[in-house]
């Protein structure tokens, strides 16, 4: 989007002084886009059912495979009292009701960011409603983006007071950021443990039917499946994704039917577990029953993945799928297993496979393995999405992100993360002595992610939803009651495998926090060392140098002002390009920025300086694809801007124009400054527009956009050569810094900076036209 500001000067627009205003509000276009997005949210009943069916294969795989391992991890040392089985089942029933059903499906899912879920989606919502972003690179114009929805508050309202309290001190912003990073790191740990425990549990069916098989054979089979799963990630799921929903639906129906049969066949009295009194009796069993909560909690694993994998499914479709299919089938499955265990207490370690009728054992084994693979795939995809969001918000080193589908932009693949996950999955699968230790690790990761989500939901309900404080209190109290109870139980399992997600999360937290710290310091350096525009103007049109033909794109973190790298250039080089364009690529706390609103352009200094600034704005789900010609997009944006500018200088406000009807652009009369701005908005929303046909006019000075002298000048400069100038600022600790800071900056951050991908690669810039300018910044 090319944007300009207008000032009256003798009846015509004065176009050189554009430093005061970045762009005009796109009210009409924004309204059209908002209506379009609202229409996308309206679904017919048939389409809603279809989306509910498809959501089964994407959203519920992880939660649906929990029956494979819950009872084994709840009673790893056997059952001492049959009534404990009823108490454990009662806890499972009410945990499924309170956490996945009430908390997530009917409350948390509504806190999605235009279809995007997870901790970073909650963080982006908060960043839009309060100034808590630790990198303050947002401007007023960013709030006019169509996808930048936010609320306004009354001055003395509770939401306004909370907003002011959060914005008052930097440490509060850092606390929220660290909380988000902890949740993100635990979710990454979930991406390691879910494939390990799901695939290993499904593979265990081999040994159940053939007890003579060694346990190592089961582990080898699980490792082979994991290697195969991670090895095909680069192909994406576009071609086989249509199979996921039917397989998962078949899985839910089978476990539900088998559960119902087992209740009727073995012990229908197990249904008294719906009476919560048995929960109280279970807790009276002492320390052993309390620590077994870590295994019971595995029944709600996958709930956070449900939120993270929401994608663009409407919330109503997920609610329908859960309440009509997932929830009842899970209740039947767990009740059926409990009924079987009541009659075969010595089979608790293999209750799932032991309770399957012999006639369908092997078909069920195949479906279970397929469901475990789908559940693992959903978690891996969610991990890739989380890493991409963290990268966009400056909280993760730059890594390669690959699109795996031309139809669905949300399907991505990150090679480096993929192989790290594979290595860690194999280490967990083969390294632990038994499955219960993996379950302990899994439970620790899941409960911490849930606690983070609960804490983040409090400001979301206050600022975004503006809920009544009583509702917020009830939601928080019920959530913490369940989650802190489970958390206290998993603390007893830290030395029995629970340390794994803590170590993994600590490693990723260190990487993410150090990288974010370095990113913030680099931005602060750019802000404090930027050059004043008055100094640039004082140098004159030649900038005190020889202006050679060509275009120089100077990349900077700044969305305003002249970066220090430019003053470094013109004081050390004898010449500079005829056209200089400062390019700022920044990410906003929105899931996407529409292409027609992505670029903001303005001129720097008088027109004969030939200097521009172009701000490219992206959302955390937007990608720089390989087939995107970023250089061409920048040049076309500048050319469009110059076209519009020339049009305004060629005509007075009293003249009428008619846009080319073949391009579906309506006619606009330029009769006042507001109408002029509206016409520019109309053209800016159509960057392909390169011709304006003038209506008959008595003014001989009227010219066509195509005859613009500056446009020809830009084209000649482009033909002469384009250079992309990037700053390579090294961050180092001062000599008087303490030891911790030196280790963090000089070793950890420096190492991450060396191994991460360069900005030029991320933007797909041609290597032969790059110029790196080195600087050292001491913090």
Per-residue pLDDT band for 389 (boundaries 50, 70, 90) equals: confident
Label the pairing between strands 722-732 and 546-556.
parallel
- Phi, psi (degrees; rounded to nearest 5) at 574: -80, -10
Question: Residues 323-357: pLDDT tens digits?
Answer: 999 999 999 999 999 999 999 888 888 889 999 99
Cα separation values, 289 from 78, 367, 399, 446, Å: 12, 32, 45, 20
Helix axes 170-203, 415-431, angle to 10 degrees: 60
Nearest to 23, CA basis, from 533, 601, 673, 559: 601
DSSP 3-state helix, strand, coil percentages of the chain (rounded to 5)?
60, 10, 30
Six-digit token pair at 726? 């990037």
d(CA 595, CA 363): 48
- Residue 7 confidence (pLDDT): 35
Six-digit token pair at 297? 């909690």
- Residue 703 confidence (pLDDT): 32
In angstroms and rounded to an integer, the radius of gyration of the C-alpha atoms of the chain is 30
- Residue 673 confidence (pLDDT): 33
Stronger pLDDT, 137 or 81, i.e. the higher one: 81
- Maximum C-alpha span of the chain: 100
- Report the range out of 203-207, 421-425, 553-557 with the highest average pLDDT: 421-425
| Residues forming a β-bridge with 202 | none
- Residue 347 confidence (pLDDT): 86
- Report the range out of 82-96, 493-507, 610-624 with the highest average pLDDT: 82-96
In the block, tokens 């627009």 appear at 13
Cα separation values, 325 from 305, 330, 421, 755, Å: 18, 9, 31, 46
Nearest to 411, CA basis, from 621, 661, 640: 621
In the block, tokens 């290595």 appear at 423
- Residue 507 confidence (pLDDT): 93
d(CA 333, CA 92): 11
Question: What is the DSSP-derived secondary structure letter of residue 492?
Answer: T
Nearest to 190, CA basis, from 486, 480, 439: 439
Burial (CB < 10 A; 0-12, 13-18, 19+), residue 688, is exposed
Neighbours of 421 (CB within 10 A): 23
Q: What is the overall mean pLDDT for the chain?
A: 80
Question: CA 91, 93, 94, 98 torsion: positive or negative?
Answer: positive
Contacts of 396 (CB under 8 A, 6+ apart): 387, 390, 511, 512, 515
Nearest to 216, CA basis, from 228, 200, 230: 200
- Phi, psi (degrees; rounded to nearest 5) at 603: -90, 145
pTM of the model: 0.81
- Residue 108 confidence (pLDDT): 93
Label the pairing between strands 546-556 and 575-587.
parallel
Contacts of 761 (CB under 8 A, 6+ apart): 400
Question: Residues 23-63: pLDDT tens digits?
Answer: 333 344 344 444 444 444 455 788 888 888 888 888 888 89
771 pLDDT exceeds 50? Answer: yes
Six-digit token pair at 463? 């600022």
Nearest to 63, CA basis, from 318, 394, 411: 318
- Residue 260 confidence (pLDDT): 95
DSSP string, 688-742: T---EEEPP-S-TT---GGG-HHHHHHHHHHHH-EEEEEEEEEEE--TTS-HHHH
- Residue 422 confidence (pLDDT): 93
481 pLDDT exceeds 90? Answer: yes
Angle at 325 between CA 324 and CA 327, to 5 degrees: 85
Six-digit token pair at 627? 């087939």
d(CA 473, CA 469): 6
402 alpha-carbon distance from chain centroid: 15
2 pLDDT exceeds 60? Answer: no
541 pLDDT exceeds 80? Answer: no
Question: Residues 169-189: pLDDT tens digits?
Answer: 888 888 999 999 999 999 888
Stronger pLDDT, 500 or 153, i.e. the higher one: 500
Question: Residues 83-134: pLDDT tens digits?
Answer: 899 999 999 999 999 999 999 999 999 988 887 888 888 998 898 888 888 7
- Residue 36 confidence (pLDDT): 46
Average pLDDT over residues 368-378: 90
- Residue 407 confidence (pLDDT): 63
Report which secondary-structure segment, H or E, holds 370: helix 361-392
Six-digit token pair at 625? 């694809």
Range 5-13, long-range pairs (CB < 8 A, 24+ positions): 5/602, 6/648, 6/673, 6/676, 6/677, 8/673, 11/652, 11/653, 11/654, 12/648, 12/649, 12/651, 12/652, 12/653, 13/648, 13/649, 13/676
d(CA 142, CA 723): 28
Average pLDDT over residues 731-743: 88
- Residue 204 confidence (pLDDT): 84
- Residue 182 confidence (pLDDT): 92
- Residue 684 confidence (pLDDT): 36
Average pLDDT over residues 242-251: 89
Report CA dihedral (102, 104, 109, 111) to the nearest 10 degrees: 100
Q: Among 217-221, 516-520, 756-760, where is mean pLDDT lowest?
A: 756-760
250 pLDDT exceeds 60? Answer: yes
Angle at 179 between CA 176 and CA 182, to 5 degrees: 155
- Residue 685 confidence (pLDDT): 37
Question: CA 131, 134, 140, 141 torsion: positive or negative?
Answer: negative
Cα separation values, 479 from 99, 102, 107, 458, 489, Å: 7, 10, 11, 11, 16
- Residue 477 confidence (pLDDT): 94
- Residue 433 confidence (pLDDT): 64
What percent of the chain has a predicted confidence (pLDDT) above 70? Answer: 84
Q: Among 3-7, 350-354, 463-467, where is mean pLDDT lowest?
A: 3-7
Average pLDDT over residues 215-228: 89
DSSP string, 644-689: HHHHHHHS-TT-EEEE-GGGT---EE--SHHHHHHHHHHHHT-TT-
Is residue 240 within 8 A of residue 405, CB to CB? The reply is no
Six-digit token pair at 97? 């009701």
What percent of the chain has a predicted confidence (pLDDT) above 90? Answer: 24
Per-residue pLDDT band for 408 (boundaries 50, 70, 90) equals: low
Question: CA 553, 557, 559, 560 torsion: positive or negative?
Answer: negative
């Amino acid at each position: 989007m090319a944007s300009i500001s207008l000032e009256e000067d003798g009846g015509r627009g004065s176009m050189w002084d554009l430093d005061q205003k970045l762009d005009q509000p796109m009210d009409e276009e924004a309204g059209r886009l908002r209506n379009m997005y609202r229409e996308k949210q309206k679904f017919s009943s048939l389409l809603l059912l279809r989306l509910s069916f498809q959501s089964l294969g994407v959203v519920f795989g992880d939660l649906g495979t929990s029956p494979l391992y819950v009872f084994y991890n709840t009673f790893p040392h056997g059952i001492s009292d049959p009534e404990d089985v009823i108490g454990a089942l009662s806890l499972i029933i009410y945990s499924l009701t309170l956490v996945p059903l009430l908390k997530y499906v009917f409350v948390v899912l509504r806190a999605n960011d235009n279809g995007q879920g997870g901790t970073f989606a909650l963080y982006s919502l908060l960043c839009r409603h309060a100034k808590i972003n630790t990198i303050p690179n947002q401007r007023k114009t960013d709030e006019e983006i169509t996808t930048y929805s936010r609320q306004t508050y009354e001055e003395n309202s509770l939401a306004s007071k909370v907003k002011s309290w959060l914005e008052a001190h930097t440490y509060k912003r850092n606390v929220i950021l660290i909380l988000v990073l902890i949740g993100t790191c635990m979710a990454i740990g979930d991406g390691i443990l879910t494939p390990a425990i799901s695939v290993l549990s499904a593979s265990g069916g081999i040994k159940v039917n053939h007890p003579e098989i060694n346990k190592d054979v089961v582990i080898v089979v699980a490792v082979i499946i994991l290697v195969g799963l991670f090895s095909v990630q680069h192909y994406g799921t576009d071609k086989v994704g249509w199979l996921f929903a039917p397989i998962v639906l078949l899985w839910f129906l089978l476990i539900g039917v088998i559960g119902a049969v087992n209740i009727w066949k073995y012990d229908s009295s197990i249904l008294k577990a719906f009476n919560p009194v048995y929960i109280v009796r279970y807790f009276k069993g002492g320390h052993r029953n309390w620590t077994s909560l870590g295994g019971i909690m595995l029944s709600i694993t996958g709930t956070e993945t449900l939120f993270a994998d929401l994608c663009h499914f409407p919330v109503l479709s997920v609610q329908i799928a859960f309440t009509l299919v997932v929830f009842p089938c899970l209740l039947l499955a767990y009740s059926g297993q409990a009924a079987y265990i009541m009659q075969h207490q010595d089979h608790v370690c293999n209750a799932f496979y032991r309770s399957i009728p012999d006639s369908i054992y092997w078909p069920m084994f195949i479906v279970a393995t397929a469901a475990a693979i789908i559940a693992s795939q959903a978690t891996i995809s969610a991990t890739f999405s989380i890493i991409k969001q963290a990268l966009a918000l400056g909280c993760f080193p730059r890594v390669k992100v690959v699109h795996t589908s031309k139809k669905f932009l949300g399907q991505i693949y990150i090679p480096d993360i993929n192989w790290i996950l594979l290595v860690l999955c194999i280490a967990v699968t083969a390294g632990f002595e038994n499955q219960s230790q993996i379950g302990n690790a899994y439970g620790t990761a899941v409960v911490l992610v849930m606690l983070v989500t609960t804490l983040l939901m409090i400001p979301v309900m206050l600022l975004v939803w503006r809920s009544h404080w009583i509702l917020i209190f009830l939601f928080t109290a019920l959530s913490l009651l369940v989650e802190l109870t489970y958390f206290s139980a998993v603390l007893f399992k830290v030395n029995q495998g629970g340390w794994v997600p803590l170590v993994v999360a600590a490693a990723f937290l260190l990487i993410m926090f150090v990288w974010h710290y370095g990113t913030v310091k680099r931005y602060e350096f750019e802000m404090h060392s930027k050059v004043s525009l008055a100094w640039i103007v004082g140098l004159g049109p030649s900038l005190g140098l020889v202006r050679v033909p060509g275009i120089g794109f100077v990349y900077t973190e700044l969305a305003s002002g002249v970066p220090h790298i430019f003053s470094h250039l013109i004081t050390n080089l004898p010449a500079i390009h005829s056209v200089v364009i400062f390019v700022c690529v920044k990410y906003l706390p929105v899931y996407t920025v529409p292409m027609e609103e992505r670029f903001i352009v303005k001129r720097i200094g008088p027109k004969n300086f030939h200097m521009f600034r172009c701000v490219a704005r992206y959302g955390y789900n937007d990608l720089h694809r390989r087939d995107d010609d970023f250089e061409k997009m920048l040049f076309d944006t500048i050319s469009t801007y110059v076209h519009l500018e020339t049009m305004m200088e060629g005509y007075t406000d009293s003249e009428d124009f008619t846009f080319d009807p073949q391009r579906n652009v309506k006619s606009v009369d330029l009769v006042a400054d507001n109408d002029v701005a509206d016409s520019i908005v109309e053209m800016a929303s159509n960057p392909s527009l390169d011709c304006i046909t003038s209506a008959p006019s008595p003014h001989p000075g009227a010219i066509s956009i195509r005859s613009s002298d500056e446009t020809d000048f830009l084209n000649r400069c482009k033909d002469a050569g384009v250079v992309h100038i990037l700053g390579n600022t090294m961050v180092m600790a001062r000599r008087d810094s303490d030891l911790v800071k030196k280790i963090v900056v000089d070793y950890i951050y420096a190492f991450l900076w060396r191994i991460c991908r360069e900005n030029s690669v991320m933007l797909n810039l041609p290597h032969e036209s790059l110029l790196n300018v080195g600087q050292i910044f001491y913090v």
